[in-house]
Amino acid sequence: MDLGRTTKGRRALFVLAVTAGLLLTTAGCGGGDGGEKSEASSSAKSPAGGDGDQSRQPSGPAVEQALAEVKSGDITLAVHSAVREQGGFVTVSGTVTNNGGQFWIAANWRGDERELSRNGASLAGASLIDSKAKKKYLVLRDTQGRCLCTKFDGGGVDAGKSAEWFAQFPAPPEDTTKVDFLVGAMPPASIDISQG
């Protein structure tokens, strides 16, 4: 299987889904009360380098139920899905919310490896821990060392805002359905892997 072709297809679908979501959000928010500014100033970038705006304010019914949610200081990380895909990888996605009063920089989320420093503020340093098999799975990378994960525009998330994220990992064995998601200084988030 050609991982490059699969990744390009996933990127295209991801950009299409984000664009459709933004169009629906814009249409639903039309005719505002004149007291709020547009919230398109901060965004997360797709692995293809797409510039689709993915940040949003948390909102009542539109927010997905989280598989797990962990907090560290003013930052809340929510995991909304962990799906085992054909081709032997798992895609984990969710949101990160900055509940503080200052811009949050995602620098320590990119990992310590020298190769990962070129990914900038991203989830390149994230991992999945399979306690059952005693294995650690690192974010997948392309041949140039770019992670198959979200890269945050501007290096992080504005105060009071949320940004969507995703990261892809090698899939644990089929009988492993529960893993811990780790990134930066965040506590481990225990999540269940579903079949795609």
Predicted model pTM: 0.65
Nearest to 124 by CA among 103, 100, 107: 107
196 residues of the chain, pLDDT tens digit each:
555 555 555 555 444 444 444 444 444 444 444 444 333 333 343 444 433 344 344 444 445 688 999 999 999 999 999 999 998 999 999 999 999 999 998 877 877 776 666 777 888 889 999 998 899 999 999 888 888 999 888 888 999 999 999 999 999 999 899 999 999 889 999 999 998 7
Q: Domain map of the chain by residue range?
A: 3-31+43-195
Six-digit token string for 138 = 């690192």
The H or E element containing residue 35 is none
The 3-state secondary structure of 57-91 reads CCCCCCCCCCCEEEEECCEEEEEEEEEEECCCEEE
Q: Are strands 104-105 and 156-157 parallel, antiparallel or unpaired?
A: antiparallel
Q: Rounded to an integer, what distance in angstroms lies between the CA atom of residue 178 and that of residue 160?
A: 31
Q: Hey, is 119 helix, strand or coil?
A: helix
Bridge partners of 169, per DSSP, are 90
